A and B are shown apart, each in its own frame.
Chain A
């Protein structure tokens, strides 16, 4: 008889709800748990709580969301049980061994793997499935039998963010510049267009490596993952590193002088041209349309 335990960051967290939907593929009994919001985050202690619960319920699988905390807590569970763990799964077929399809390279490549171990431990790639609100989420305290060592690493303080402008992750419009911008000063035209549209400024990894923009502006596999209504990519070639961060955008407008640039293969709209001419022309056209 199979039984699946799903770790949720909270009952209303969308990626955790996706993990619940995903776990439905495993069949058998399913229970969903979240740690009480009043508990300080302590990954090892949270994992210990899950390990005890999994053992009590005879869980054949423990599933979590492919979030920072989901991947971290499941890695702790895996280390405690000395069992394999598959991060960011898109698909699973139970069995001995189970087989999974999981994301590599931030989703630019997939891997099929056999998992030799029990219980089956995995996290679910964000947006691999639609979310279903779990009917019955058990909210619980951290297990009293978590050791002192499990409690050493815990959040002791939270420093609030200085809220300046639209955040890249939440913006409806993101205007980004790549190597083609040419310099730090070159970003003034990108900033102008972003401001006119009430959007955020982004950039590619080449730009942060060159020191033209702070890393907090970087869109990509190792930067921010964005999901705007429209992403305007200026002078960006379309490396897989970058595309892994903007694949959540509903529409992509690419502006690039090279008609063969690989970004055009992922774009909905294309402007062939030099961003230094095109972007100011768009800003001027917006002003004209608004009569300002």
Chain B
């Protein structure tokens, strides 16, 4: 089973987001970076499926030169090789991103049985890159999946229902297919030291795709209207308990 997993490098935002002066990006001078959470689970799922069924796992990212760090991280937990679509770090809209991924899949030449994505990226949250890739490649696509098992020549995919009645919707999807997953489908492993050593030697191909004119064109970022509150301090330590219970009574949850 050959699996491609697409990931995105995003900043670890911590408690407060600050923007750059030109309002085009988050100020990341003091921040670390990570793989967007749903996609980290997609990589873990790819590794588990290849462990169980054989084949090859490949990780792809579109991002700046520094995004090699995230590709090596995914190879350190067990992905076999990487494809880096190197950008100058500027914003790529969903259509341009999908087109670059489609070109890279065709150029790689591997017959992928499964293309895994996160349901949406942590930062841009456009909810559409995987769907566009699926249409361009003529593949079925199923979104928001929290359980995958191989069932003959296809996949059984489960998605939690957010509407009534509660439960899980099941999709039977023939391969090859595009699947987007949600965090919680698995608990991603941490890289080991030997894993990190091996990752340094794993193959990493790079290409520099040309960026198409954005059709969803970001003009600027802004912070939501501040809802900064002045919290009422109910007390320090255990002594605060009686006042907390008064508040709970007032609210009517006692």
Contact = CB atoms under 8 A, between A and B. Distances in A.
Interface in B219-233: 219-224, 227-229, 231-233
B131 A172 contact: no
A96 interface: no
15 contacts: A71-B128, A75-B128, A78-B132, A88-B127, A99-B219, A104-B123, A104-B125, A110-B223, A158-B161, A208-B187, A215-B183, A264-B231, A271-B236, A273-B236, A281-B241
B33 interface: no
Interface string A179-216: 00000000000000000011100000100110100011
B183 A222 contact: yes
A205 B241 contact: no
Interface in B114-155: 120, 122-128, 131-132, 134-135, 138, 140-144
B52 interface: no
Given A153-B171, A215-B184, A218-B184, A85 B247 contact: no
Interface stretch (A23-31, A51-59, A132-140, A232-240): A232-240
Interface range for A: 35 or more
Contacts of B135: 79-80
Nearest to B129: A75
B32 to A, nearest CB: 13
Interface in B3-48: 13-17, 26, 37-38
Contacts of A248: none
Nearest to A86: B216
B165 interface: yes
Interface of A: 9-10, 13, 41, 43-44, 67-69, 71-72, 75-76, 78-80, 82-88, 97, 99, 103-117, 123, 149, 152-161, 163, 167, 172-173, 197-199, 205, 208-209, 211, 215-216, 218, 221-223, 229-230, 237-241, 251, 253-254, 261-274, 277-278, 280-282, 284-286, 289-290
A284 B241 contact: yes
A269 B134 CA distance: 48
Nearest to B132: A79
Given A110-B223, A158-B170, 6 more contacts: A44-B141, A103-B125, A172-B253, A198-B253, A211-B187, A269-B247
B236 A197 contact: no
B56 interface: no
Nearest to A13: B163
B244 interface: yes
A290 to B, nearest CB: 8
B150 to A, nearest CB: 16
A198 B143 CA distance: 34
B19 to A, nearest CB: 8
Given A172-B253, A266-B227, A271-B244, A108 B17 contact: yes
**Interface on chain B toward A: helix, strand, loop, or mixed SS?**
mixed
Query: A-B pairs with the 5 shortest C-beta distances?
Result: A262-B15, A215-B184, A281-B238, A273-B237, A75-B128
Contacts of A173: 253
A155 B219 contact: no
Interface string B79-97: 0000000000000011100
A112 B222 contact: yes
A198 to B, nearest CB: 8
A205 B94 contact: no
Given A111-B221, A278-B238, A75 B245 contact: no
Nearest to A167: B166
B248 interface: yes
Central interface residue in B131, B161, B172, B182, by most chain A CB within 10 Å: B131
Given A109-B224, A159-B170, A116 B15 contact: no
A229 B251 contact: yes
Contacts of A110: 221-224
Nearest to A159: B168
A237 B228 CA distance: 15
B223 A109 contact: yes
Contacts of B38: 222
Interface in B192-238: 213-224, 227-229, 231-238
A240 B128 contact: no
A270 B217 contact: no
Contacts of A261: 15
Given A222-B182, A230-B253, A269-B232, A158 B217 contact: no
Nearest to A290: B254
B252 interface: yes
